[in-house]
Amino acid sequence: MVSASATASAASPVRLGMVGGGQGAFIGAVHRMAARLDGHYMLVAGALSSDPERARASAAELGLDPDRSYASFYEMAEKEAARPDGIEAVSIVTPNHMHYPAAKAFLQAGIHVICDKPLTSSLEDARGLVETVKKSGKLFVLTHNYSGYPMIRQARQMVQEGALGDIILAQAEYPQDWLAEPIEQTGQKQASWRTDPKRSGAGGATGDIGTHAYQLVTFVTGLHAESVAADLDRFVPGRQLDDNAHVMMRFGERNGKRAKGMIWVSQVAPGNENGLKLRIYGTKGGLEWVQADPNYLWFTPLGEPKRLLTRGGAGASAAAAAVTRIPSGHPEGYLEAFATLYTEAAGAIRALRSGGAVPEDLVLPTVEDGLEGMRFIQACVNSSQNDAAWTRLDAL
């Protein structure tokens, strides 16, 4: 994790560019809304599509200067770095296989990077990106947006402060149903690249949503898997990548104890949309959080009735309050959590812009977190190919 200040300065907005996210894209629009929400960014340039005509049309729709709509991210990195008013940061919202070359180009041009997950499409590229970030000295943020929810921040603080005692069990699930049929065969854009190993990488559901589930577990508990035993399936005939995964985890030792964990992710579970859930249990109590009701966190001290903690309500922690925008009882959700990461990144960028060091009171998912996520994906794939044998992450 990178530390930074939660309070943005009164300086001018961060000049932002975007790679990908043009017409027909989903996540690019989400990133743009998140960047705008708290007013800390100004989108000024883009290489919005690998199709030059679509890139130009997308830029026109967003009101970008035609001179700052680029045919490739290589051209964009070179020309924006040479401008006195060039972009300070870039959002990379392409399919996975383009994360590494795009991030590398901008980092080497001296531009901060905010990148969608997973980190890359291969473990080899992930290692290369870690080295590129280190050499560049620039900020790299991986947008695991669920870590931006106020009640997830509260859960993390409660674990750190010992409210649950020693963690012994961690469970996460993330079921969807949108790939229950072979819609990739119809040319559906989001399905086509997510089920293509050349663009998505070795993991299907494991890479797409399994990395979210794993990152959420590690973010809240501070635990990291030493090994996994995974059973991956392709239930839809003809599909090249997994669409369902059951994963058992063994975590490293802490306070003389070794916690265990389980993750279930699926994209073929009818009746589920984005059913992300997290359960953490310790020697003194447990926590439960459901993304469909993100403003609620259930806390059960051992031997006592369940307690409902609400965002902005009685019992809300300082960590939750720091990323809460509106009064309790009004729902905050997905876009606000995403915006939290962008706002925190803006604080870090402004600190670096002014020649100072990045402050130490905020956490952001980094390139190292992304590398761990890539090890998780590859370990799951390797384990499943070996009849769900226990597979160590540090051996990869």
Residue 3 has pLDDT above 70, yes or no: no
Structure tokens given for 99: 């994360």
Closest C-alpha among 121, 112, 143, 111 to residue 21? 143
Phi, psi at 112, each rounded to 5°: -65, 155
Residue 11's pLDDT is 76
329 Cα distance to chain centroid:
27
Residues 348 and 324 in one domain: no
Residues 25 and 43 in one domain: yes
Residues 356 and 322 in one domain: no
Residue 7 has pLDDT above 70, yes or no: no
Residues 354 and 277 in one domain: no
Residue 390 has pLDDT above 50, yes or no: yes
Residues 116 and 229 in one domain: no
The runs of H, that is alpha helices, within the chain are 27-37, 52-61, 73-82, 99-108, 123-136, 150-160, 189-194, 197-200, 205, 211-221, 318-321, 334-353, 367-385
Residue 9 has pLDDT above 60, yes or no: no
Range with the poorest average pLDDT among 42-56, 315-329, 353-367? 353-367
Residues 104 and 196 in one domain: no
Could you give the number of structural domains in the chain?
2
**CATH number, domain containing residue 376:** 3.30.360.10
Residue 355's contacts (CB-CB under 8 Å, 6 or more residues apart) are: none
Whether 140 is covered by a domain: the verdict is: yes
CA distance 257 to 167: 8
Residues 167 and 78 in one domain: no
Whether 262 is covered by a domain: the verdict is: yes
Kindly state the helix (H) or strand (E) to which residue 248 belongs, with its residue range.
strand 244-254
Domain housing 257: 150-328+372-391
pLDDT digits (tens, 9 = 90+) for 118-147: 999 999 999 999 999 999 999 999 999 999
Residues 141 and 154 in one domain: no
State whether residue 162 is helix, strand or coil: coil
Whether 31 is covered by a domain: the verdict is: yes
State whether residue 263 is helix, strand or coil: strand
Query: Which segments within 267-370 are labelled E, that is strand?
Result: 277-282, 285-290, 296-301, 307-310, 363-364
Residue 1 has pLDDT above 60, yes or no: no
239 Cα distance to chain centroid:
25
pLDDT digits (tens, 9 = 90+) for 222-274: 999 999 999 999 999 999 999 999 999 999 988 888 999 999 999 999 999 99
Beta-carbon count within 10 A of 327 CB: 9
Cis before 118 (ω within 30): yes
Whether 396 is covered by a domain: the verdict is: no
Residues 199 and 212 in one domain: yes
Query: pTM for the whole thing?
Result: 0.95
pLDDT digits (tens, 9 = 90+) for 175-229: 999 999 999 999 999 999 999 999 999 999 999 999 999 999 999 999 999 999 9
The pLDDT mean for the chain works out to: 95
Q: Are strands 257-266 and 167-175 parallel, antiparallel or unpaired?
A: parallel
Residues 212 and 106 in one domain: no
**CATH number, domain containing residue 345:** 3.40.50.720
CA distance 390 to 367: 26
Residues 265 and 178 in one domain: yes
Phi, psi at 177, each rounded to 5°: -130, 5
Burial of 53 (0-12, 13-18, 19+ CB in 10 A): exposed
Whether 142 is covered by a domain: the verdict is: yes
Residues 34 and 162 in one domain: no
SS3 sequence of 166-204: CEEEEEEEEECCCCCCCHHHHCCHHHHHHCCHHHHCCCC
CA distance 16 to 378: 32
Residue 8's contacts (CB-CB under 8 Å, 6 or more residues apart) are: 38, 40, 343, 346, 347, 350
Structure tokens given for 188: 């559906």
